[in-house]
Structure 1
Amino acid sequence: MSERFDFTGDELAPAYRAAVDAIEAGDLVVMPTDTVYGIAADAFKADAVQRLLDAKGRGRDVPPPVLISVVESLDALATDIPDSGRKLCEEFWPGPLTVICHAQTSLMWDLGETQGTVALRVPNHENTRDLLSRTGPLAVSSANASGKPAALDVYDAEEQLGDAVAVYLDGGEVAGGLPSTIVDLTGDTPRVVRIGALSVAQLRAIVPEVTVDPEADPSAQTDDEPAEQPAQQPDETPAEASDDKPAAEPGDKPAEVAAEQAEPTPSPVEASNQDVAKKTEPDTRPADRGHDS
């Protein structure tokens, strides 16, 4: 049976508690972001990620992006990030930018057929970022059945996903509507693979060398998710033409909630990095072996 919680006022402790409990149990949570509503699962629980894909009617060939609470968590999940990519993240995070990076091979997760990459985003939604600081990284896809428009309010999400989701967080109607812009950072220069809320001109104002995939059609997809990733070619860096949330499309919480907790809540940076550290293991594989999903 699903539960719905208000996610807009000052009394957010019940919503946080229910969402964290659901994530820890391997269940699904729907939450607002700055673009669209997202359906979330623990990124480090393979069965939970599969439950997310099943709820949407998606296959493993379209793995969900991962939302994080702070830009400082980027290096805990990704590697070989070019300086140009860092500039984009520092400028547009929190915000509607999803970046595709080489995934850290030591991470104990299975997001699907990622070809050794991961799509990451920091959502510009304070309450959702605060939730992420409590749960750690979440696999988040747009809250809709595959092929249907992404939900812009919790009631649309409920109608499409029903009891497949344990907890719905009602943050009102989201103002964004457009999916995040997706930039592939696995090559020599940043490459736009989907044009969304951020324009190419905005990206090039920060990194002039940004290129655009010929197939980066903003009307090609209706939800905030990366498209299917091309297979990795020998002797080439893995790349994907990307999903957010909710971010792909699918993730910032008020500090006053901490006072209601029995123990002090670590800062977003500490919480996110501690959570990632618990779910990693030393990488003992050969250096030329990618992270198979």
Structure 2
Amino acid sequence: MKLILPDELPLAIEALEAGELVVVPTRRWYMICANARDHDACESIYAGKSRPRSKSLAYILPSLVAADELFVMTPAAIQLASAFWPGDLAMILRWRNSEHAQQHQSVGVPNALVTLDSGTLGQLARKSRVPIAATTANRSDPTNTLGPAITAAEVESFVSESQTSVAYCIDGGISPLANHLTIVDCTETQATITRPGVVHHRAINAAIAAVS
């Protein structure tokens, strides 16, 4: 794995489009990314992390427009997207097209875990010609007591210990929040918080109060 700077993002994009893995920083953690349509690339993330296949990777949207084109946006989802995207919220959304969904099984079928990021991860999704699947850079098994990587040095340790083949890691310094995306299930009329995280539950409830 080679460390690169944020202004070398095109190198990471080229690697992703060639079927390789890259790691990018967010405010929360460093995220390991692959082409969401490349089964082998996504499988190498699962294997490296020892991540259960039942836990979907996150689909990183290139834009708000893409959210509406690809997924069923309930009234609650629309309110949450307006309030918190791009940002630290992920939603579980239903694919509009089942055939399209089958091409992105790593992020979930018939529902996907979806987010729109404001930083480097979002830039990667906007500029890449392939869809981006991502998850935290760390082992998912009980031997990992540290949690997801918040520095490039911790990414290097994860890559070395897991023997995961990663082309590049963009060194964005220290991720200051060291916390997860808040996840809200928006597949039904009533939105439900399924995992707490950066966005507080009071903020979620305030955003969807008008449609609840």
> What secondary structure does 1:106 align onto?
helix
Partner amino acid for 2:89?
L
**Residue deviations 1:54-79, cap 9 Å, x none?**
12111321120111232221023312
Q: What is the correspondence of 1:35-184 to structure 2 with a 5 Å cutoff?
A: 35-79=28-72, 81-103=73-95, 104-107=97-100, 109-112=103-106, 114-125=108-119, 127-135=120-128, 136-147=130-141, 148=144, 149-162=147-160, 163-184=164-185
Query: What residue in structure 2 maps to residue 193 of structure 1?
Result: 194
Cα distance in 2 for partners of 1:142, 1:155 equals: 14
Residue correspondences, number: 202
| 1:101, distance to aligned residue in structure 2 (A) | 0.6
List aligned pairs for 1:207-246, cutoff 5 A. 207-208=208-209
User: 2:52 and 2:205 mapped to 1: Cα distance?
Assistant: 34
Residue aligning to 1:34: 27
Does the C-alpha gap of structure 1 residues 176 and 6 become closer, same or farther in structure 2, counting only changes over 3 Å? same
- SS of the equivalent of 2:150 reads coil
Compute the displacement of 1:115 (Å): 4.3
Contact map agreement 2:94 2:110 (CA 8 A) in 1: yes
Aligned-partner SS, 1:100: strand
Greater helix proportion: 2
Residues 20 and 113 of structure 1: is their aligned pair in 2 closer, same or farther, counting only changes over 3 Å?
closer
Q: Which runs of 5+ in 1 are unaligned?
A: 212-293
Q: CA deviation at 1:131?
A: 1.9
1:19 to 1, 12, 23: 12
CA distance in 2, matches of 1:52, 1:63: 11
Task: Show the counterpart of 1:6.
Answer: 5
Please say if residues 154 and 171 of structure 1, whose CA atoms lie closer than 8 Å, have aligned partners that are also in contact: yes
CA distance in 1, matches of 2:22, 2:69: 24
Give the Cα separation in 2 of the matches to 1:98 and 1:193: 10
The structure with more radius of gyration: 1
Larger strand fraction of residues: 2
Change (3 A) 1:157 1:210: farther
Cα distance change of structure 1 residues 120 and 35 upon mapping to structure 2, 3 Å threshold: same
| C-alpha deviation, 1:117, in angstroms | 0.7
Amino acid at match of 2:66: S
User: Per-residue CA shift, 1:130-165, capped at 9, x if unaligned?
Assistant: 221111431100011113301111110110123521
- Name the amino acid aligned to 1:151: A
Distance 1:129 1:19 in 2: 13
User: % of aligned pairs identical?
Assistant: 25
TM-score of the aligned structures, taking structure 1 as reference length:
0.65
CA contact (8 A) 2:9 2:170 kept: no
Separation in 1, partners of 2:170, 2:154: 12
Query: Structure 2: where are the runs of 5+ without partners?
Result: none
Deviates further, 110-119 or 137-146: 110-119
How far apart are the structure 1 equivalents of 2:17 and 2:44?
A: 14
